[in-house]
Amino acid sequence: MKQLILLVLLLGTSNMANAACSELYNHQLITLQGQKINLCDYQDKPILVVNTASKCGFTPQFDALEGMYSKYKDKGLLVIGFPSNDFKQEPGNNKQIGDFCKLTYSVNFPMMTKSSVTGPNANLFYKQLNAKTGQAPKWNFYKYVILPKAEVYAFSSSVTPNSAEILEKILPTLK
């Protein structure tokens, strides 16, 4: 009986923790290296989300993304990349993508496993971003800024990560 009560208490605590996490953040993401990121841990922090591809004209934006992450991660910014072949410019597998990002652009911000970000096969997190903004990525390096309390803004591929438009959203929310 004591074990049953303990189990009920543990399950109740787990469900309460998940209930406190809004739907947009209620995701366990897996990086290219197999590490888990619980987005619920970032509800009160700004997040810069970008779909990436290694064979795209916008690929040099990795430098600015890494610069943003390096400069602001200790102040609360999470930058996360989602490699995708939706636009036929990411032919590699997870290991090849990870090697390319690390060796070519010294990427240290979390890169998730390769997935779809548009259409019916989009991963659930991107489906939610697309629904919240009414805008699915139109190309690689499309960006979303998620502010605390799930306020979401979408930015086209041509808007650089360190642009005034993005910085004016993120900077006021940093610690």
Residue 86 lies in a domain: yes
Tokens (6 digits) for 159 = 């808007």
The enclosing domain of 89 has a CATH number of 3.40.30.10
Tell me, yes or no, whether 19 lies in a domain.
no
Q: What domain range is 141 assigned to?
A: 25-173
- Are 30 and 36 contacting, i.e. CB atoms less than 8 angstroms apart? yes
pLDDT tens across 25-80, in order? 999 999 999 999 999 999 999 999 999 999 999 999 999 999 999 999 999 999 99
Tokens 């903004």 found at = 133
What is the number of domains present in the chain? Answer: 1
Q: In this structure, is residue 149 part of a structural domain?
A: yes
Inside any domain, residue 20: no
Residue 3 belongs to a domain: no
Contacts of 63 (CB under 8 A, 6+ apart): 105
> Active-site positions?
56
> What are the tens digits of pLDDT across the range 96-139?
999 999 999 999 999 999 999 999 999 999 999 999 999 999 99
Task: Round to whole Å and give the CA distance between 26 and 23.
Answer: 5
Q: Could you tell me if residue 10 is inside a domain?
A: no
